[in-house]
């Protein structure tokens, strides 16, 4: 390897470097470039490049002036495809224009602080997806067919109608025509969010190999896919957060978005129609952080720093990037900024995650860990149905050192004991992640052995939940069976009504409370239903045969004809949760597993301003926040005191 290139220190805090890339007609020709310095206040014309490194560090050597630079193979490919054939191009590309050496931490901090402005002041943004393949070429054409050809399908001039017509054409095909694009690594990297959104929207270009399209086409496609309830979630994982933020940014400059795509106003309307334009627009950044947490970042600190330019655009105050700070401090600052900006405590709903870095305050989300998907009922995307604190406004303050969050709350009860949860180890939980309730019901009706075995396993766990209850009356005065049904269905009115119409809970409850012998009798009754005149002696013989010859799964299959509907609907709301009892006789569901599992002695707190109760663990100096929970009988304000003296300050540490 030749001598390493040494970056000349920038002469002014407002200066950046740009690559001057000389032209070549042949793609394979050696890259010929130099690096120059320019001022952001009066910059040389340049294009900003957004791409995925696709490697933690560079291993491809490029010659540059007084030495060589190491870049990733994808960076080298981007330079080859993006250089002109005739004219020189000036490019800003992070891995070359920012000194990446360990001794340049100060410069790196400052350049990250400027990155939002770097992309805003660029003449355009080039999004490099990588080299072309056949599937991606087909995908690019499919996008163009939906967005850019209004007359392609007669009678359909709006995007949603064209998309629906396209979906009708491919309804029975297994391939998703758009996924080859949305599976590209660029869509799954953290930094690419602000890079795509802060450039001049009418001059942000997506390039794959030599093929190009305007970025706004993909944003438009995302909203059309959402509106058409397109089945594949590949696109949602890839571009949902970009699309949501594009809609929000359109408040700041709607005219610019309308110029970029004549139909963009219609495309963006579903997300912004109920919000005010520009002035006074309020964006909950806790939701933004949560949307972006599934994106990838080599350095977990970038889960916050990569969004700094967006925050500046929305005029949201948050400490500037500093890689010298520990990750725990950076995440705490992001949580404080979220609470102050959002003017509520909704960020507490994003705290639970499969694992957490040590040293984080219990009330601070670990943004480096993937959160729960929007359709996951642990996420509580429908929590606005509940009103545990009687529609009160939240009250909170921070300790002088900002390490503790102090909230107003009432401790209502504590955990007496918990039972085994329907965790990721259960096979049905995996099936639920891979499909939908509708899919599971369908495959079960067809006798799918894998799903049946999984249903039996989860049924046995839920049977233990039911058998842990006693008596006929719940503490609220309602029938115990009614309380169980509402709990297992997360008290969802539409599902409760559907279950009632099919009279699905009674046979399920009978099976769940039956002894082994009674369960077999249920199976025999079903077998014998076709011939009720059969002598009882034959029933006894059949019962004996069932006991001796049927496996548990085979017997469950016979009985499942009457119980599977409620079982599968309930499992959708109960998977990844455990069932617990409180000392006052209440019961509920809590996310499971958690990094800190629920245990006896954990307290249930109703927090002022929050729709759901929270599970807290008493520790020296205060409480650790574990998760939000469902506790039947207190979800609509029943536990919130009329006397303000019963509300106390709880210190979350």
Residue 536 has pLDDT above 50, yes or no: no
Q: What residues form DSSP beta bridges with 415?
A: 582
Please report the pLDDT score of residue 382 as a whole number. 73
Residue 278 has pLDDT above 50, yes or no: no
pLDDT digits (tens, 9 = 90+) for 125-136: 999 999 999 999
Tokens, residue 75: 């960076």
pLDDT digits (tens, 9 = 90+) for 387-417: 999 999 999 999 999 999 999 999 999 999 9
CB-based burial label for 521 (10 Å; 0-12, 13-18, 19+)? middle
Q: What residues form DSSP beta bridges with 589?
A: 579, 630
Beta strand residue intervals within 483-583, DSSP E:
577-582
pLDDT digits (tens, 9 = 90+) for 361-393: 999 999 999 877 766 778 776 788 999 999 999
Percent of the chain past pLDDT 70, that is, above it, reads 79
* CA–CA dist 306, 587 (Å, integer): 42
Would you give the end-to-end CA distance of the chain in angstroms?
Answer: 51
3-class DSSP assignment, residue 212:
strand
Tokens, residue 439: 């899919």
pTM of the model: 0.86
Q: Using CA atoms in the order 174, 179, 180, 182, what is the torsion angle rounded to 10 degrees? A: -170
């Amino acid at each position: 390897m030749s001598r390493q290139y040494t970056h000349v220190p920038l002469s002014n805090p407002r200066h950046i470097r740009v690559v001057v890339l000389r032209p070549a007609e042949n793609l394979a020709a050696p890259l010929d470039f130099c690096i120059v310095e320019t001022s952001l206040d009066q910059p040389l014309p340049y294009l900003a490049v957004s791409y995925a490194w696709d490697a933690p560090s560079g291993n491809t050597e490029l010659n540059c002036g007084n030495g060589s630079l190491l870049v990733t193979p994808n960076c080298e490919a981007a330079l080859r495809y993006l250089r002109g054939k005739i004219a020189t191009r000036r490019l800003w590309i992070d891995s070359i224009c920012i000194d990446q050496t360990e001794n340049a931490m100060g410069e790196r901090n400052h350049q990250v602080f400027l990155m939002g402005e770097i992309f805003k002041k660029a003449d355009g943004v080039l999004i490099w997806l990588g080299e072309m393949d056949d599937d991606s070429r087909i995908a690019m054409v499919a996008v163009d067919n939906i967005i850019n050809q209004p007359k392609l399908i007669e009678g359909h001039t709006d995007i949603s109608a064209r998309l629906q017509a396209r979906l009708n054409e491919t309804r029975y095909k297994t391939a998703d025509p758009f996924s080859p694009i949305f599976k590209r690594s660029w869509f799954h990297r953290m930094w690419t969010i602000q890079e795509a959104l802060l450039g001049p929207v009418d001059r942000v270009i997506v390039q794959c190999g030599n093929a190009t399209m305007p970025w706004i086409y993909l944003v438009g496609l995302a909203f059309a896919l959402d509106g058409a309830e397109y089945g594949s979630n590949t696109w949602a994982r890839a571009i949902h957060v970009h699309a949501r933020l594009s809609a929000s940014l359109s408040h700041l400059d709607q005219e610019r978005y309308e110029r970029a795509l004549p139909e963009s106003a219609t495309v963006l309307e579903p997300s912004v129609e109920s919000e005010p334009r520009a002035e006074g627009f309020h964006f909950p950044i806790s939701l933004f952080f949560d949307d972006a947490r599934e994106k990838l970042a080599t350095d977990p600190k970038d889960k916050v720093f990569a969004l700094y330019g967006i925050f500046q655009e929305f005029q949201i105050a948050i400490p500037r990037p500093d890689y010298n700070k520990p990750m725990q401090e950076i995440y705490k600052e992001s949580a404080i900024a979220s609470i102050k900006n959002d003017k509520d405590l909704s960020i507490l709903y994003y705290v639970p995650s499969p694992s957490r870095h040590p040293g984080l305050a219990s009330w601070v989300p670990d943004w480096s860990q993937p959160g729960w998907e929007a359709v996951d009922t642990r996420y509580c995307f429908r929590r606005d149905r509940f009103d545990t604190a009687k529609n009160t406004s939240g009250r909170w303050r921070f300790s002088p050192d900002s390490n503790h969050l102090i909230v107003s709350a009432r401790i209502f009860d504590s955990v007496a004991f918990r039972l085994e949860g329907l965790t990721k180890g259960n096979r049905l939980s995996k099936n639920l992640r891979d499909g939908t309730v509708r899919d599971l019901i369908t495959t079960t009706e067809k006798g799918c052995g894998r799903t049946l075995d999984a249903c039996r396993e989860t049924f046995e766990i839920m049977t233990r939940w039911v058998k842990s209850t006693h008596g006929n009356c719940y503490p609220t005065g309602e029938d115990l069976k009614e309380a169980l049904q509402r709990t297992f269905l997360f008290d969802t009115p539409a599902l409760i009504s559907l279950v009632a119409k099919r009279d699905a809970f009674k046979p399920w409850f009978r099976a769940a409370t039956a002894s082994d012998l009674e369960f077999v009798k249920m199976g025999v009754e079903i077998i014998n239903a076709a011939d009720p005149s059969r002598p009882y002696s034959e029933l006894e013989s059949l019962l004996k045969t069932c006991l001796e010859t049927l496996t548990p799964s085979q017997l469950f299959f016979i009985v499942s004809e009457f119980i599977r509907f409620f079982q599968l609907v309930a499992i959708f709301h109960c998977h990844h949760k455990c069932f617990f009892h409180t000392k006052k006789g209440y019961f509920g569901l809590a996310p499971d597993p958690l990094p800190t599992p629920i245990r006896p002695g954990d307290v249930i707190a109703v927090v002022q301003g929050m729709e759901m109760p929270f599970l807290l663990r008493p520790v020296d100096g205060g409480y650790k926040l574990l998760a939000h929970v469902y506790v039947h009988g207190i979800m609509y304000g029943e536990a919130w005191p009329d006397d303000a003296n019963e509300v106390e300050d709880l210190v979350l540490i």
